[in-house]
Structure 1
Amino acid sequence: MKDKVVIISGAASGIGEATALLFGKEGAKVIVADIDIEAGKEVVKRIERAGGIASFFKVDVASAAENKSLVDFAVSTYGRLDIAVNNAGIGGEANKIVDMSLEGWHRVIDVNLHSIFYGMKYQIEAMLKTGQGSIINISSILGSVGFEGSVGYVAAKHAIVGMTRNAALEYSSQNIRINAVGPAFIDTPLLDQIDDDIKKQLISLHPIGRLGRSQEVAELILWLGNDKASFATGSYYPIDGGYLAR
């Protein structure tokens, strides 16, 4: 990772934060991208205190223009873009289809799906200029199966897997690798909103007997980002504690 330039969206907390800290530790120049300015800048400080190089960029990933500005910032600040981790997302409205509000549907699709298209559009454009790159899109185990009450989230995460595969078909021959990661339920601030009984139910869905840790997902993302994964493209990598084996 030495001197590689990486964008990580949703990097102020959870999987994104763990990934940013790990890439920084490994020598990458990290753009911590998030809508949360205070938390994002704190992640930058943690990377810098550990001897790494990082910058913060405020972004609403649901905006095409802000995704372009993010890529432009990476290139103007560090000279190029080597790796992009499209991680930002929301859980969205929890309702069955009939009860799902149109606003709730559009919001989760905007943040979780449109953002991946916008990100790749401008990231690939920058990577084509240097003739190489790696993009890791964060999907979910729910990119492979359903989950009652999460129609918008499930639809977006399924679509991310398909879009990743299609993008890999289009650009792998130009030395740009594109993969998707599918975490199961990870113990992040996103799950702090649920009560203990529901959390216990979620734990029971994982044969390994616990929720995942952000650091574990970050290690997989790191591998996909570097040259050790040079033959890995167009694939979907669940990291799920056995969830999908049930």
Structure 2
Amino acid sequence: MRLKGKNILITGGSSGIGLAAVERCLEEGAAVVMSDLPGNGGESLASKMSSQYSGTCLFIAADVSDTCQVNTLLTEMHNHLGSVDGVFNNAGIGGLTPTTEVSDESFQNIININLTGVFRVARGALQIMEKQGSGCIVNCASILGLFGQSQTAAYTAAKGGVVNLTRTLALEFAPKGIRVNSIGPGYIDTPLLKDLSEEMREFLVSLHPMGRLGRSEEVANAFVFLVSDEASFITGANLQVDGGFTAGKS
């Protein structure tokens, strides 16, 4: 029970990597706040998780692109559970669009959710963690936080920003007993990929030396390690969970 006694917030928690992280944290003894947009079935999922595991699982709806909602989310979590010990900054959106067809609004929307949203959640959590003198934040970056890819201008810009934001927050808050790291998943077999053609799916598989897509629970396992006391001397790191995708690139 590596997370026994810890209170963990997971954004984007109602599906894919986020939901896998919720389950793993509950298995490890944490109390979990699952957050996502309203209407994603979060309430029923949290209720199911609470009955399935011995730990507490609460759902609090929040849009990470809205500062007031993010601040309310963290205040409610603190009021319900008494502390914010760990955060998985996982909410995000993707998509492929030729750069010349990307509107200002579309570009800003992806930046607002994938980068500024990560900042909003981190800022609110850090304000609480400073008073506690402890805490850990893990931001979900991407392999595309390190490398470019055609037709992903906004996404790669955002994820590259997440990687460097992580390093900056780690430096600033290490003296205060707070750790900040990021995870860089490769292509993970989640509902986001369900509409891909078989040809595109095979192409994505071919990018990974291990010869397959990743599984949500493999990213969740990395999060559990980083948020646990086993990673107590790790901060400012970007842990690639990518089946070797980035190993041969520089």
TM interval, shorter chain, is over 0.9
Distance in 2 between residues matched to 1:131 and 1:191, nearest whole Å: 40
Kept in 2: contact 1:21–1:46 (CA 8 A): no
Distance in 2 between residues matched to 1:42 and 1:233, nearest whole Å: 35
Q: What are the residue-to-residue correspondences of 1:107-186 with 2, within 5 Å?
A: 107-186=109-188
**1:88 equivalent in alignment to 2:91:** yes
Q: What are the residue-to-residue correspondences of 1:194-233 with 2, within 5 Å?
A: 194-233=196-235
TM-score by length of 2: 0.95
Any stretches of 5+ residues in structure 1 without a counterpart? none
Residue 46 of structure 1: how far off its partner (Å): 3.1
**1:18 equivalent in alignment to 2:40:** no
**Partner of 1:40 in structure 2?**
42
Which amino acid is the alignment partner of residue 91 of structure 1? G
**Partner of 1:237 in structure 2?**
239
Pick closer, same or farther for the CA change 1:245–1:20 going to 2, 3 Å. Answer: same
Which amino acid is the alignment partner of residue 75 of structure 1? H
- Percent of aligned positions that are identical: 38
Distance in 1 between residues matched to 2:44 and 2:142, nearest whole Å: 27
Residue 180 of structure 1: how far off its partner (Å): 0.5
Kept in 2: contact 1:17–1:43 (CA 8 A): no
Residue 36 of structure 1: how far off its partner (Å): 4.2
TM-score by length of 1: 0.97
Q: Can you list the C-alpha shifts for 1:180-210, whole angstroms capped at 9, x where unaligned?
A: 0000000001111322211111011001010
Alignment RMSD (CA, Å):
1.1
Which amino acid is the alignment partner of residue 5 of structure 1? N
Any stretches of 5+ residues in structure 2 without a counterpart? none
**Partner of 1:64 in structure 2?**
67
Residue 38 of structure 1: how far off its partner (Å): 4.5
**1:77 equivalent in alignment to 2:80:** yes
Distance in 1 between residues matched to 2:13 and 2:122, nearest whole Å: 17
Which amino acid is the alignment partner of residue 170 of structure 1? E
